[in-house]
Amino acid sequence: MKPDQEIARNAKLDKIEDVARRYGIQRDDLELYGDVKAKVKLSILDRLKDRPNGKFIDITAISPTPLGEGKTTNTVGVTMGLTHIGKKAACCIRQASLGPVFGIKGGAAGGGFAQVIPPEDLNIHLTGDIHAVQAANNLACAFLDNHLFNGNTLGIDPGTINIRRGMDINDRDLRNIITGLQDNGIPRETGFDIAVASEVMAILALAENLQDLRKRLGRMVVGFNGDGKAVTCEDLKVAGAMTAILRDAIKPNILQTIGGSLAFVHCGPFANIAHGNSSIVADRVALKVADYVVTESGFGGDMGCEKFMNIKCRQSGTKPDAVGLVATVRALKNHSGKFKVVAGKPLPEGLVKEDLGALDAGMPNLTRHIKNVLGFGVPVVVGINVFGTESAAELEMVKKAAKDAGALDCVISEVYAKGGEGGAAFAKALVSACEHKSNFKFTYEVNQPIKKKVEAIATKIYGAKDVEFTPEASKRIKAFEEAGFGNLPVCMAKTQYSFSHDPKLLGAPSGFTLPVRDARLSAGAGFVYMLCGDMMTMPGLGKNPGGQNIDINEKGEIIGMF
């Protein structure tokens, strides 16, 4: 058994209704899925409507590297650290997609002594929400193709169809397909997106309640007619059935951390494709039952955190009190471009031994992320996730650079090795940051033209000089604006490994031109999104996918997950 899984399996696991009771969540508020996981009924928000909200902390990170930065581990660890110092704290994280679980990323429950448990439940199926998303999305696609087959009375132009089928597995062979090859069918080119990149998943994460979910699903645009008018799921008369499938999925799931802190695990939109944050409803429930709520934005600060601020906070009206920015010395050294990390081979010597030159060369990645967060008017604390190979001089260099860039504090995080005790310093620094005045602001105003909003993100957040739109992207953007969707926020789909569109441009590149090759509309979710560079919406499995290692033992327990 691998160390993380052994730690999780040996941890004390309380009944979930006992964990919930410690936070004032009553048995009548719950729908149990066995002893260790449950859904929380949204009626709890009516019962607790007069209770003030707790403090809201977002955890993000520097630009990801193949080495891993430990963002989820620190989200869980900071929550445990807050509990350790006597605060009532809960975390809100995303549910794991089976694509990464069976692909290259592995589990999404944290690591070491900072995990949400049981990780097997979190990582595989949980309460079936992603399967429901997949089913609702594919029902809409089936209704659309059936409508085309039966005469297309809505006059949908097949060249404008805006929805693709979804599946929660990485499968490159389904990226581009042709449907309608049966007798009397209408052949057309289409494809599959991974389910968590679908608009249905984004809608579920951004919906305020079941009725809002129904309205948003009805607003989903499947395509346009010959007059440029949007055709929606409401027009196809499928939105009601989609909502029926998702009736239980809108309720947030709860589990527990090692040590017994409450963990909300709900929704899973990818941050390099979709908006990369857990659900609004999970946040709202958590903020009523905990004094401090720690949420996680996917990938680096230029991805999930930017979308957390400009999309999620804009729609929910909830604003963060502080941001925790996770960094590692070895990842910052990797951003120097001096090293090549090869899977399955020992790390280059400079990553595990002192190399102040490489660290200094990679430091601009950290400082730009700090300045970006400060640009939202929110105080930021840097947590250095340590592995034990860092020298004192390297740690001091990171602390100085972080504070010089405007971070309120920069502290050591040892959550992987020490759990809540190892997260206490990070937790205390974030508690202090929450007491500082926040002057929250967005990167752009929604009434700006779509291209201007894209340019604002590219230049202010990414460091680009300008943006280049392909003719196809420009055509779609113009159609969106003419159809009345110009006042939506923008969601950028690009590589997570760089501020730019090119994963090879490490550190803090600037002066580049950001290529936007396509644009898509997510009217139900409430944003338009741009596909930049070679970004794709259906990943593929690697040569040796992680699923090869997953099995069951003689007790029927899942092994080999991470």
- Per-domain residue ranges for the chain? 3-127+249-434, 129-245, 450-532
pLDDT given for residue 127 in this prediction: 94
Q: What are 166's strand-pairing partners?
A: 193
Q: What is the DSSP letter of 532?
A: E
Task: Judge contact between 292 and 55, C-beta under 8 A.
Answer: yes
pLDDT given for residue 544 in this prediction: 75
The architecture CATH gives domain 129-245: 2-Layer Sandwich (3.30)
Among candidate residues 189, 217, 191, the one with its CA nearest the CA of residue 132: 217
Distances (CA, A) of 350 to 67, 360, 383, 460: 13, 13, 22, 32
Neighbours of 468 (CB within 10 A): 11
Q: Which residues contact 355 (CB under 8 A, 6 or more apart)?
A: 333, 338
Burial 235-251 (b: 16+ CB within 10 A, else e): bbebbebbbebbeebbb
Among candidate residues 351, 325, 355, 419, the one with its CA nearest the CA of residue 69: 325
Dihedral class, residue 420 (left if φ above 0, else alpha if ψ from -120 to 50, else beta) = alpha
Query: Can you tell me the distance from the alpha carbon of 287 to that of 186, in angstroms, rounded to the nearest whole number?
Result: 50
Residue corresponding to tokens 């090293």: 339
Preceding amide of 379 cis, omega within 30: no
Task: Judge contact between 38 and 16, C-beta under 8 A.
Answer: yes
pTM across the whole model: 0.94
DSSP 52-70: PP-EEEEEEESSP-TT---
Among candidate residues 200, 197, 195, the one with its CA nearest the CA of residue 245: 200
Residue 347 in tokens: 């790390």
Residue corresponding to tokens 């009725």: 211
Give, rounded to a whole angstrom, the gap between the first and last alpha carbons of the chain.
Answer: 10
Query: Can you tell me the distance from the alpha carbon of 83 to that of 265, in angstroms, rounded to the nearest whole number?
Result: 18
Query: Can you tell me the distance from the alpha carbon of 213 to that of 99, in angstroms, rounded to the nearest whole number?
Result: 25
Task: Judge contact between 29 and 46, C-beta under 8 A.
Answer: no
Q: What are 265's strand-pairing partners?
A: 93, 253
* Packing angle of the helix pair 471-482, 450-457 (nearest 10 deg): 120
pLDDT in tens, the chain (562 residues): 467 777 877 778 999 999 999 999 999 999 999 999 999 999 999 999 999 999 999 999 999 988 888 899 999 999 999 999 999 999 999 998 887 777 775 667 888 899 999 988 888 889 999 999 999 999 999 999 999 999 999 999 998 998 999 999 888 888 888 888 887 778 888 889 899 889 999 999 999 999 999 999 999 999 999 888 999 999 999 999 999 999 999 999 999 999 899 999 999 888 788 888 999 999 999 999 999 999 999 899 999 999 999 999 999 999 999 999 999 999 999 999 998 887 678 888 889 899 999 999 999 999 999 999 999 999 999 999 999 999 999 999 999 999 999 999 999 999 999 999 999 999 999 999 999 988 899 999 999 999 999 999 999 999 999 999 999 999 999 999 999 999 999 999 999 999 999 999 999 999 999 999 999 899 999 999 899 987 777 777 777 777 777 777 777 777 776 6
Query: Can you tell me the distance from the alpha carbon of 6 to that of 112, in angstroms, rounded to the nearest whole number?
Result: 9
pLDDT given for residue 221 in this prediction: 95
Task: Judge contact between 118 and 97, C-beta under 8 A.
Answer: no
Q: Which residues contact 521 (CB under 8 A, 6 or more apart)?
A: 162, 221, 476, 480, 485, 528
Query: Can you tell me the distance from the alpha carbon of 151 to that of 162, in angstroms, rounded to the nearest whole number?
Result: 19
Among candidate residues 132, 121, 100, 129, the one with its CA nearest the CA of residue 263: 121
Helix runs in 103-169, H state only: 119-123, 129-149
Compute the chain's Rg from CA coordinates: 23
The architecture CATH gives domain 450-532: Roll (3.10)
pLDDT given for residue 512 in this prediction: 96
pLDDT given for residue 2 in this prediction: 64
* CATH no., domain 3-127+249-434: 3.40.50.300
Q: Which residues contact 126 (CB under 8 A, 6 or more apart)?
A: 37, 95, 96, 253, 265
Residue 369 in tokens: 């992320």
| Run of H or E including 454 | helix 450-457
Counted residue by residue, the chain has a size of: 562
Q: What are 397's strand-pairing partners?
A: none
Task: Judge contact between 16 and 33, C-beta under 8 A.
Answer: no
DSSP 244-266: HHTTTTTSPEEEEETTS-EEEE-
Task: Name the pairing type of β-strands 165-167 and 188-190.
Answer: unpaired
Query: Can you tell me the distance from the alpha carbon of 330 to that of 67, in angstroms, rounded to the nearest whole number?
Result: 8
